[in-house]
Chains A and B, each alone.
Chain A
Amino acid sequence: EPEVTQTPSHQVTQMGQEVILRCVPISNHLYFYWYRQILGQKVEFLVSFYNNEISEKSEIFDDQFSVERPDGSNFTLKIRSTKLEDSAMYFCASSEALAGEYLYQETQYFGPGTRLLVL
């Protein structure tokens, strides 16, 4: 069964450093997402991406964050200057379609996550 994959599984970085989290979405999916989950808290939406541009973002997704689809398979989240409060689990997700386009094809499938620890 196709699945979303993410690398690395764990990343430890120093405050102020740049990190890039990588994702390979399911191959026929067109919409890509990043979510984060701070330990003990709920999963929160960061950004969605379609047709090589950001289509929706949350207030969490400020100027230190950026996303990119550098080639036909990878989808990346870059944090330019990490802060202690960026420590969280980051999940990538993908879907075939948007909610309302094709019933059941808009389901978002999540990867296993990257645990980011900022020291």
Chain B
Amino acid sequence: LAKTTQPISMDSYEGQEVNITCSHNNIATNDYITWYQQFPSQGPRFIIQGYKTKVTNEVASLFIPADRKSSTLSLPRVSLSDTAVYYCLVGPSYNTDKLIFGTGTRLQVFP
């Protein structure tokens, strides 16, 4: 299983772009990279998923270099409501029981 490493915490200010990098050196060929967001006292919420290059949706962008050993979640112009814990997960699509949530990155956005 691909182990992931991400910063424990990050601080930002409203309006700034935030980039959270996740390291997954032993990612396998069949593995996808998925990011979830969790607010206090709520269940995680799916943000974005990718396999390679760049994926963008209405919430975030996910950048994956050619070697796929890391990935970067980019949140444009964060607001106070983006304060949450962000989890990076790596795993094969066919083994959903192997989905492992680490401790995530706690993002604090200040006014």
Q: Bound pair: A and B?
A: no
Q: Which residues of chain B have a CB within 8 Å of any CB of chain A?
A: none
